[in-house]
Structure 1
């Protein structure tokens, strides 16, 4: 009897919303871009920021761990598209291209060596929404109490905050924002964004 392998297709939490995001983006006339960035690698790293492991992890990633609260660093080139977000005095979120989580975890663990630290793959915990365009800050301001003006929250800034009462990690990007949201709240946040965006469509 021949064996048949069952192949499961992986679906992102918001795959069903792709057409709605695309329609809103088209209708906005360039003012907004909404999209899901599914399956980004995400690793939560906890260690002593003053210990040798912090420098070693920075060297392994090619990016220093940011030490200033609510900041992020990013490297983007032909090989890497990597960001490290400050989440707390001894906690960072490393975000990379889809499918790179195992490589990142291996490199981070090797750099840490015998130092006291924790590395947790949380890639499946959240999905990422891109909110970009000239009206991106205005849209998010409907449900977020942070000052999202580019002078206050531009590239290199991040924060754990709430958006329409949902816990998110908000990251300032060159032309907009990443909204990292738990998969269980992704539908709610997507619906809220699309509803709030009607003002600009």
Structure 2
């Protein structure tokens, strides 16, 4: 049995969970809750960076980060499933990189609130990260990616994008939705086609909100 160290709210962990489900590998993976803030959590020994997700293989080898794990899961499923082979691979990798960057920018805004006392918060830094999110959403709204209508359409890029938008819903109250109707429709189609997206959703109640992640 493989072990996935993650947490329910992690968009990168969610990406791995959805990828595993799409690839038919969910029964092979045990998800183990992880607290990266605790020095007593073994994640710091399993991944020296102390970050999630991390995938522990049966021989004890640990894979990280999410892109490496997704690549491994695709390999385990036979290859060329959610990471195409040949020229088609690069648009998928580019979308994954764009979506991962949006998740990073969102997380950094959350961390600015979570770990820094209010009097020390750097508003220019938050605005810098927020502008990244806004630019990505602007670009995608102007030229939306192909909609995912079935699990056959799912790939590492659009899975990552769905998780990035889901993270904006979780941590920023979904304020992006008012400005980006094309992406709202895209995400609705993804959710309808990929049951694992809804299954991995975390209710926003109880999670602290930060400011709007747009410029």
Instruction: Give the TM-score normalised by structure 2.
Output: 0.27
Q: Which has the higher strand share?
A: 1
**Higher Rg of the two aligned structures:** 1
